[in-house]
Structure formats: C-alpha cells, structure tokens
Structure 1
Amino acid sequence: MNLKLFALLLLCGILTGKAHSQELNLFSYWYIEDNAIGFISLSDVYALSEHPDSSAIPDIKKLSVDQSLSIALDGAYRQRFFRGTGISESDNVYIYNYAENKLKTFKAKELQVIALLDFYASVEEWPFSQYDYMIGFQIDNSQLTDFKENYYDVLVYIGKETPFITGALEPITWDRAEAKDKTLLSTVPTDDSFFTDREITDYTVGDTYTYESGGYTYYIQNLFDGNNELFVRHLIVLNSATKKLVCERLYDQWEGNGLTSLNIRGEENEYADYQWTGKLFNGMDPVIFGFQYFSFGCPYITILNSNDEEVYIYCDNRH
C-alpha cells in the first residue's frame, strides 16, 4: 500500500470519577492521504480471537486483493469490535485541537468501523490474516476543516463526557538561563537514579534554558557525550514559590527515537511548537510533553507531580 500518512495524537479512554493517568488510553490518529480519510487504530487494545467463528474480519479469500486493502466492518464484525475494545456505541468521540483550541464531537454509533491493511504488509502476502490489519474508526476529514490541516496537535477522547480543559495548554518558548538559575539548580536534590539506571556517567552539561508559567519554573539542560554530541536532555520542574522539585525527566535519543527542537526566544525555528504545558485533563495535575519523536515505540504525556505518572499513547507501531 502506498499510503502517505500524517500522525496526530488521539486520546481514547473511560473515566470513572476523577481522571487518572491509568484510566486514559491513548491512541494514534492517522490522516491517510491516498484515501483522504482519518483513521483511529484500536488494534493495541482489541484482543483478537483465534476461533474462526469469532474472526475480527470476513473471509479474505472471498475478496479480491484490492477489496481486501480496506474493509468496512458491519454487523457481527462491528459488534465484536465494540465488545473487544470496551467502547460503547453510545460513546462520543471528542477531537480536540489544542493549538487551534477547537473541539469537535462525533457519535461512535455514526462512525464507520474499518479494517485497514497494516502499512508494513505487502499485497504479495494475500490472503491476509486478521493480524495483518489495523482495526478502528474511519473519520470524515472534511468535518475538520477548521483545524487548518493541522493534525499533529490533536487529542481525541472516546467516552461519555469530555475530559478536556480547553484553552489551557500553551506552547513553550525557552529563555536562556541566567547565572542565578544555574546556582539555584545546583542546590536542587535531583534523582541520580535517572542517570545511573541508564548508565549515563560520561557527559558534559551544555546550555540550560528556562520557562515559567502556572506557578512552575521549568529548566531544560542539554547534555553532551564524550564526542561533544547532544544525546540527552534533562528536564527539571520546580514550584516557583517554594523552589521544591515537582518533576524530573531525562529524554534521550537512540536508533528508535530522537530529540525534538526547542523553541528558543530570539532564535528562528521552523518547528517552533513541539513542547506544550498546562492544564489538559479535568481532575488531574498539569502536563508537559513534546520532547521526543519516536520511530520505534510510542510517545507519552508527563503529568507534573512527584508520582512519576505518564499517559502513554497506543500507536500501533508494528516495527
């Protein structure tokens, strides 16, 4: 399949009482340019049955190769999808573009469920098995025209009520840290295990940048290896009033992921709005995200507290 894809983030889950990170299931959303459709794969949470009478898809041998590239799932196959994913026909699909601050709502019962051949499968492998498909919702992208074709900064939740706090996320513009900031950081008792667990011992601290908002002071440090190449960024978030540590993370890069650009005040950056922070979910602490991109594995959103909470995104990455 020759598909051109644009990924955006999708949040899908069920909230019971207050929202907690473990109650939010995150998924990727794809805009499939060749088909001009949006697609939400829920295959990561759809447990497929080995029994032929419970297959997630119809008998591929009864379809041509072209017909089997994308299959509309109706009747028993649609029912199995809802049972297998735990989503209800009565749920709503809330699509929130936080960069544009636009929120759209769709009814799950009105959305087509489809099986889309995995991007790494080959037509030469026909007839395909159910494991060769991504199964999920098809979205009519024409209904998202006011997103201005910005599908990267989108989060989606599937449930009875929206969990989103709209208009409360902001892109981070970093300032270069001053001497007083570096002095303060030297007094903060950070967690050495972040380094020892990754066997990070030989490094040099490079530039440090800072940002302040919502009662928090953020610091991001560039760390360089023995070859003077950037390989890790160290995030430290303090309570602005107490100077106490709120959250700490290390972001590294390797074969499967890389470090995104920083939007630094006074410097031109074509991809300026990678990092975002602020309130996002009702009943939860503020969040921060956007420091890495992933070729292998899936991204996540960090909750700003001392509990090491992350909201991971199911991205159906079949590398």
Structure 2
Amino acid sequence: MEKSASKYFTLEKKYRNHFLSKTNISETDSLFVYDYAKNKLASFAIKNLKAAAWINGYSSEEDWPYRRYDYMIGFEISKQNLNGFGDYYSNVIVYAGKENPFAKGPLKPIVWKKIARKEYPSKPMKAEDITALKNTIPGNTYSYTTESHQYFLQDYLDSHKIIYTRRLLIADSKTKEIIIDKVYTQSEGTSPAPLNGENGDESFDQYTGKLFKNKPEVVFGFQYESFGCPAISIIDKSNEDIYLQCDNRH
C-alpha cells in the first residue's frame, strides 16, 4: 500500500472480522453514540458501518511504513449523521451491543457554590487518603444540591498554594448519609480538572445524573488522566467506577 493510501483505509473483510472478534462486537450489534452534554443519541447497525484504520495523531509521514500500533481502528460515521452533537465530540460516549444502555436523563453540569469549611460534613478519612494529604492545607470548599443528593468538595493545596488534592463527599439529600467518599490527587499521570466555570461559562467537566438505564445516578469529571482512561463513578455504596476504553497514547 502506498504512503498516501495507508493513512486511512477501509478494512477488508478478513481484517474486519478479526477486529470484531477481538473487540467482542457482533455484526448483529448496534453502535450507540450518546452526547451527554447535548442529550443527543444516534444509533447505527454494525453491519451497515465500515470498519476503518486511521493513523493516530502522534504519527507522521516520517514514520512510514507504518506499524500496526500506529493505527486507530474503529467504525466510520459521517458527520451528517451526528447533527446536534458537540463540535469536537468531547462529551460523547459510545457503546456497542444489543440494546441502548443510556437513559437520556439528561446529565447536568454541576454548578459549584462556595461554602464555609465548617459546612463540609465531618467524616473520618481513610488511612491512604490521610497519607495523600500529608503536607497540604485546606483550600476552598464547595457544595451542590439536587433533589436526591448533596455534593461537597474540599480543595487541598500544596506548599505553592496550588490545588494538589480534592476530596468529594456525596450524601443522600434526605437521610444525610454519606454515600461516596473519593479523593482525587495530583500524580505523574493525573491532575485535578478545573471546576465548572473556572475556564469560562461554557467550560464544564463535572457532570451528574442518570446516565445508564439500569444503574443509579453517576458523577464524573474531577480528574484528568495523562496515561490511563477516565472513570464514571456510580453513586451508591458499591463505590463502583466504570472505566472508559480510550486511546490515550502519547
């Protein structure tokens, strides 16, 4: 295959079948594409979609002939079939399977309100979280309330007064019982995401609400991942995190 043609091409049947087999996707499945910020859902029959290989953004013509690792492989969807979706599809989740898992809530961006530190619930920290907060000092404290839950967020600053860690508590709005207790810490591969509105009125990272039909409400968007993939946290005592499958190569 010539250099120009090898940048993007449709998979032949043999390689399409191999791709489907390795990803546990069937020709009888559908692809559900959901923009949770716009509350837009599109679905496509897998059998009607082309499977294609595309050179990833970190490769260039100087890398030719390309290795298999240099490619991203997926399904080809025309932009015209995603009308109403966000421009860069940054708030889109995709699922391949028999039935649509998305509840079409829609999710809501969290609108944080600064509160006094004394309003933050008193709950003992886990030992590993105490270790993570060593040499930090408390910063701003925030809250957000919905009909079902109360959200509390505490910043912790390093010696340079930069946010190093955030602790999230989520309580049942009626019983006040703490359901979620999570700590998001700066590391080589992670960093705290800006709070909604910090980078402009339309800049949102934290969302909450009913995302999946057969699961409780969710919350996510507190941490950027440099190497891994982000997680969606289920708001119940299971403390389940659903990790997305992503291509986060560098």
The answer, yes or no, to whether TM exceeds 0.5 is yes
Q: Deviations over 1:138-164 (max 9, x none)?
A: 211121122252522222211111011
Contact 1:261 1:271 survives alignment (8 Å): no
Report the equivalent of 1:195. Answer: 130
Amino acid at match of 2:73: I
Structure 1 ranges of 4+ moved more than 6 A: none
Cα distance, 1:190–1:214 mapped onto 2, change above 3 Å: farther
1:206 has 2:139 as partner: yes
1:177 maps to which of 115, 129, 134: 115
Paired residues in the alignment total: 250
In the alignment, which residue of structure 2 is the partner of 1:240? 173
- 1:289 aligns with 220
Three-state SS of the structure 2 residue aligned to 1:167 is coil
- Maintained 8 Å contact 1:239/1:246: yes
Partner of 2:154: 221
Unaligned runs of 5+ in 2: none
Percent of matched pairs sharing the same residue: 39
| DSSP 3-state at the match of 1:106 | strand
CA deviation after TM superposition for structure 1 residue 179, in Å: 6.1
Q: Is contact 1:94-1:157 (8 Å) kept?
A: yes
Cα drift, residue 180 of structure 1: 5.6
5+ residue gaps, structure 1: 1-62
**Pair 152,95 (structure 1): closer, same or farther in 2 beyond 3 Å:** same
- Provide TM-score, normalisation by structure 1: 0.72
Instruction: Report the equivalent of 1:7.
Output: none
Larger RCO (alpha carbons 8 Å, 6+ apart): 1
Among 9, 26, 46, the residue aligned to 1:108: 46
Match of 2:5 in 1: 67
Aligned to 1:138: 76
CA distance in 2, matches of 1:268, 1:124: 36
SS at match of 1:307: coil
Query: Residues 263 and 124 (structure 1 numbering): CA distance in 2 closer, same or farther, change over 3 Å?
Result: closer
SS at match of 1:151: coil
Deviations 1:155-174, CA, capped at 9 Å, x for gaps: 22111110111124111101
Contact 2:55–2:70 (CA under 8 A) maintained in structure 1: yes
Once residues 149 and 272 of structure 1 are traced to their aligned partners in structure 2, the CA distance between those partners, rounded to angstroms, is 14
1:302 has 2:233 as partner: yes
Q: 2:57 aligns with which of 110, 114, 119?
A: 119
- 1:116 Cα deviation after fit: 1.4
- Secondary structure of the residue aligned to 1:226 is coil
